[in-house]
């Protein structure tokens, strides 16, 4: 009897462990490989509308192609946009305002691309989980290259690895029930332009979008912490208490990071809730989580380089995002939105 009971329970146990097994395919080696390319001088700081940003978009697109993600609807990996240049999104109080205005004022209109890594779901495929990170940065100015290794090269390579983990699962017969869109966006440094364009021109109706998980700067340690065993979470309970609870449980069961909520308030003087790409989803009443390591001395400077990145930190946070996305994509019921903007 006990032997038969064990055999009955075994498949359920294996299914429960699949998420962990696929999360372990996210490694420091692959993260560093991607970031060494995306944050290299050859990409000239990835300023939206410039050659380096186009090169980064092509790199991301080729990664999606190589891991087996097809073009969206068999046509394209790109959502192209041309929008009016508006403002610059700086996350600290001591940015060089004159320099940022100089960058902002170069072009009246900005052309960019969001890169679409669309993984179709199964029985719940009409619902969508979106994972974002902005792959643009400040560019090259006065012979100085702003490589943006942490901002937001770190989030971009996390998104690439999450896409690969989901595709490995799908190839082994464990594809997500809900569809998943891994979407590195551009134009963030110019005013959240790429994500704003997507919110106005979604590939799925916004009412079918279950949640957005946004990754922006996860590779460094700020002055509030002595080690990298933390991540700031912003927004999880703003629209859905259930999303917050799921996030907490996933971290408790699988990861064990210190989840720091000191910036998780609409009246936070830093206003981080409003200052990365997740906000274009949140303002449409789509639940969000913003994963963030805080600002540091190299923020928006030429010294934000690969050799200062903590890849173990990126690996841990990326696995947390993947496992959270896995739960959101595969649970029976979509999370409840119990608050409104």
Q: Is 104 exposed, middle or buried (0-12, 13-18, 19+ CB in 10 A)?
A: middle
Give tens-digit pLDDT for 140-175: 999 999 999 999 999 999 999 999 999 999 999 999
Contact present, 281 and 209 (Cβ < 8 Å): yes
Instruction: Give CATH for domain 43-330.
Output: 3.40.630.10
- Average per-residue pLDDT for the chain: 91
Question: What global pTM score does this model have?
Answer: 0.92
Question: Phi/psi zone of residue 52: left (φ > 0), alpha (ψ -120 to 50 degrees), beta?
Answer: alpha
Domain ranges, ordered by start, for the chain: 43-330
Give tens-digit pLDDT for 247-287: 999 999 999 999 999 999 888 999 999 999 999 999 999 99
Give tens-digit pLDDT for 6-16: 333 333 333 45
115 Cβ partners below 8 Å, 6+ apart? 57, 60, 61, 64, 77, 78, 79, 135, 183, 184, 185
Q: Which two tokens stand for residue 67?
A: 């891991």
Dihedrals phi, psi of 214, to nearest 5 degrees = -115, 130
Q: Where are the alpha helices (DSSP H) in 24-106?
A: 28-38, 51-66, 97-104
């Amino acid at each position: 009897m006990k032997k038969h009971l064990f055999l009955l329970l075994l498949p359920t146990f294996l299914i429960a462990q699949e998420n962990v097994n696929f999360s372990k395919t996210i490694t420091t080696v692959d993260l560093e490989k991607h970031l060494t390319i995306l944050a290299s001088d050859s990409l000239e700081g990835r300023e939206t509308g410039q050659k380096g940003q186009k090169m980064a978009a092509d790199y991301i697109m080729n990664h999606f192609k190589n891991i087996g993600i097809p073009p969206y609807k068999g046509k394209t990996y790109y959502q192209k946009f041309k929008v009016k240049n508006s403002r610059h999104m700086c996350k600290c109080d001591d940015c060089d305002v004159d320099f940022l205005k100089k960058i902002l004022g170069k072009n009246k209109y900005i052309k960019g691309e969001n890169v679409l890594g669309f993984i179709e779901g199964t029985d719940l495929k009409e619902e969508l989980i979106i994972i974002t990170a902005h792959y643009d940065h400040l560019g090259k100015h006065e012979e100085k290259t702003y490589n943006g290794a942490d901002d937001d090269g770190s989030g971009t390579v996390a998104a690439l690895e999450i896409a690969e983990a989901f595709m490995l699962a799908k190839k082994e017969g464990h594809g997500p029930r809900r569809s998943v869109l891994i979407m590195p966006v551009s134009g963030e440094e110019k005013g959240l332009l790429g994500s704003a364009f997507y919110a106005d021109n979604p590939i799925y109706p916004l009412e079918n979008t279950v949640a957005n998980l946004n990754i922006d700067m996860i590779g460094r340690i700020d002055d509030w912490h002595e080690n990298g065993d933390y991540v700031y979470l912003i927004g999880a309970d703003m629209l859905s208490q259930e999303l917050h609870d799921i996030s907490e449980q996933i971290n408790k069961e699988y990861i064990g990071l210190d989840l720091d909520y000191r910036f998780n308030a609409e009246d936070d003087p830093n206003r981080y809730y409003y200052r990365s790409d997740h906000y274009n989803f949140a303002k449409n009443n789509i639940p969000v989580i913003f994963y963030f390591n805080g600002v540091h001395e190299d923020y928006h400077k030429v010294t934000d380089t690969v050799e200062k990145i903590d890849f173990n930190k990126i690996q841990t946070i990326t696995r947390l995002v993947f496992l959270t996305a896995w739960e959101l994509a595969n649970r029976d019921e979509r999370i409840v939105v119990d608050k409104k903007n």
